[in-house]
A and B are shown apart, each in its own frame.
Chain A
Amino acid sequence: MTTHTFTPDQSPGVGAVRVTRPYRAVFLDWITTTDHKKIGTMYAIAASVFFLIGGILAGIMRIQLAIPENDFVTRDVFNQSFTMHGTIMVFLFLMPMLAALGNWMVPLQVGAADMAYPKVNALAFWMIPLGGTVLLLSYLMPNGPHAGSWVSYPPLADVSESGTAFLPGHGVDLWIGAIAILGISSTLGSINFIVTVYKMRAPGMTMLRVPIFTWTVIVQSFLAIFSLPVVTAGLAMLWISRNLGGRFFDPSAGGDPILYQHIFWYFGHPEVYILVLPVMGVVSEIIPVFSRKPLFGYKAFIFATLSIAALGTMVWAHHMFTTGAIQVHFFAFTSFLISVPTGVKMFNWTATMYKGKIEFTSAMLFALGFLMMFLIGGITGVFNATGGLDFSLHDTYFVVSHFHYVLVSAALFGLFAGFYYWFPKMSGRMLNETVGKVQFVLLFLGVNFTFLPQMLVGLDGMPRRIPTYTEEEGWGLGNLISSYGYILIALAAILFLLNVLLSMRRGKISGDNPWDAYALEWATSSPPPYYNFDRLPLIRSERPVFDENHPEAVATGDR
């Protein structure tokens, strides 16, 4: 097994070496960088900052909802809080954090020196803090930020027949502007990923030898290009309605509020697969490595990913079952279908562990947590897909629980798994494993305490987007437990931050390939030099580094 010995003068990467350059030089270096690794790090930092802001908003809501008829915040502030919480978590946390992992790992996994368009990459990154600033500026507006939920349906977000806005002020307009900016940023990033993988793969790397994480990033990128412009157009129409007298969604002038919902969800549903597919890719890298086996059914997995993406463009109106304006049977059918390729993935992950030699590192624990939680999220999705059932579940806390299970209990677990796995590659140091395990337990308990009771109160009929509820409804206990669960999640997040901050300077030195992992990023030093690779191994399968390190497996043909 050949490895590079880690020597301090090998590269000026993140946290690897104490570099004594003047702060000004370092600052300018980072501000003007087009290096995908530094950009990836900046994406991660920006996403973390917005995660904290979004998390605080969640805390405000959980405090308000902990007891019936609470008056911790006013109704308007609460409505603004869930609007901004959803917007920030989706567009300013999840998407940039996935871009962080993608930016860091995609060029490395295909053996390239950088992304296809490094300057466009930098531009796409800087649009994130720009979009975030525009969004948060709405808190300074006289009427405050948008209060019409992250989906922003007209007529509520629109202007009435007589010309007055139901949500007056510029908060909504700033929200529209922010999403337009963030959408363009994601589109640029997506173009970058696709061209990088298509044109810049190392010799020997056919498409069917591309690592599974990179595959999921590509499919997600196609979905983004397909769906983001749709919502941009819809939001442009909303802006024109609010500011130039447009009447697209006003039935008294020939418009149709349902048109907006079609446009939004035509984007909105592919968007959730944009959020989840790369996380599935991360988990698909981790489970094989820590089972000491290849991914079971690599080709089937790619096929399942493509099926999910394709089917994901045909289910959007399951968010509109109760509008009375869509064909319920058809969309129930397509929504059911999408559970099949998702199930295939679950079985493939499980089969990967079969006859393996599993090591429970923090990364593996989080990946297993993802599996377990995603199952619950997926099953609750099937409840929602069942047309008739959805009439009782839509717009209740059951739906809130469902999407928080898939996004927090699953996607967030997957992100943490990815960081515990790749932090050594990014920084040259290991994250503390004990802290990781404690964090896992806290987070696991936290997400279940927070979101399982929400499932129950939702089944009991508690609607969503309500600032408070009465004593007699009986939802007090569930909400109280849910609010306590939030504290555990917050603690887990803080622990992770501390782990990162401490490990960056004092973590164990990792070496090139601490996990004996498989893909190309492990063929270079930790962190990689700015040009990424000194040499590339021979690429004859989707596990080139494994092949190089285990010639005995190659020789016997058992590889």
Chain B
Amino acid sequence: MTATATPATVQDNEGFPLHQEDEGGFSMTVMGTVIFLASEVMFFATLLGSYYTLRAVNADSWPPEGIEPEWPLPLLMTATLLVSSVSIHGAVWAVRRDNRTVLTSALAITVLLGVMFMVGEIFEFSIAEFDFEGWKDGPPKGVAEGIVPGAYGSMFWTILAFHGLHVSGGIILNSYILFSALNGRFSSKNYQVLESASYYWHFVDVVWLIVFVTLYVVK
């Protein structure tokens, strides 16, 4: 039984295809990306698990007095990410139909929306009254001297910071994908990398939804 250069449908006597392309199933790029995302799930699970643990430990003062996470801006950021997930899915849809115009526009929109999300994130950090360490400028009005954000503040910003880092990484990745798409790299027969990037982006979005519910709804 020799694996010489013969047409793709050669099989051995148990019916196993002799060439990898005949196998079907997930492409290697997608499979690797999915496993990588599994590791990222564990990373965020640890951070979120820590948040919930500390919340249980500090049952009656979580969030501490004087901290009230506000909805409006984060909700807008959520909408931004959701729309960007739609747009990147649109890009995958387009490449399957070899529609380069829609592909590149959709990717451009995704990148733009990602940037808008990060702008919102940074703005949130700048207007907040507390950072990793504690109050930025002393306790707000009406809050006693001894109350500190402490562990809450650290957990809050750590989760948002790591998510933000992942979004930033995604923006860079999507920009590279956009650049490649503009150079004509992708076609309906070759878009595994684009598909993998879209999975990463969807992952970032799903994590944001859980983060949003944790930090701003459940609290």
Contact = CB atoms under 8 A, between A and B. Distances in A.
A256 B39 contact: no
Contact of A204 (B14, B31, B47, B151): B14
A246 B132 contact: yes
B12 interface: yes
A259 B150 CA distance: 15
Given A203-B16, A240-B154, A228 B39 contact: yes
B86 interface: no
A322 B64 CA distance: 31
A248 interface: yes
A254 B61 contact: yes
Contacts of A198: 31
Nearest to A206: B16
Interface residues of B, number: 48
Contacts of B62: 254
A229 B53 contact: no
A193 to B, nearest CB: 10
Interface stretch (B17-25, B108-116, B121-129): B17-25
A551 interface: no
A457 interface: no
A233 B43 contact: yes
A553 to B, nearest CB: 20
B32 A240 contact: no
B133 A200 contact: no
Given A236-B158, A250-B150, A253-B150, A535 B46 contact: no
B6 interface: no
Contacts of B143: none
B39 A535 contact: no
A228 B53 CA distance: 20
B176 interface: no
Contacts of A245: 131-134, 154
A535 B2 contact: yes
18 contacts: A117-B32, A195-B28, A195-B32, A195-B35, A203-B11, A203-B18, A204-B12, A233-B46, A233-B47, A234-B46, A248-B154, A254-B54, A255-B154, A259-B53, A259-B54, A259-B57, A262-B53, A538-B12
Interface of A: 116-117, 120, 187, 190-192, 194-195, 198-200, 203-204, 225-230, 232-234, 236-237, 240-241, 244-248, 250, 252-256, 259, 262-263, 266, 535-538, 540
Q: Kindly list the 5 A-B residue pairs having the minimum CB-CB distance in the complex, ordered from nearest.
A: A245-B133, A253-B150, A233-B46, A229-B43, A246-B154
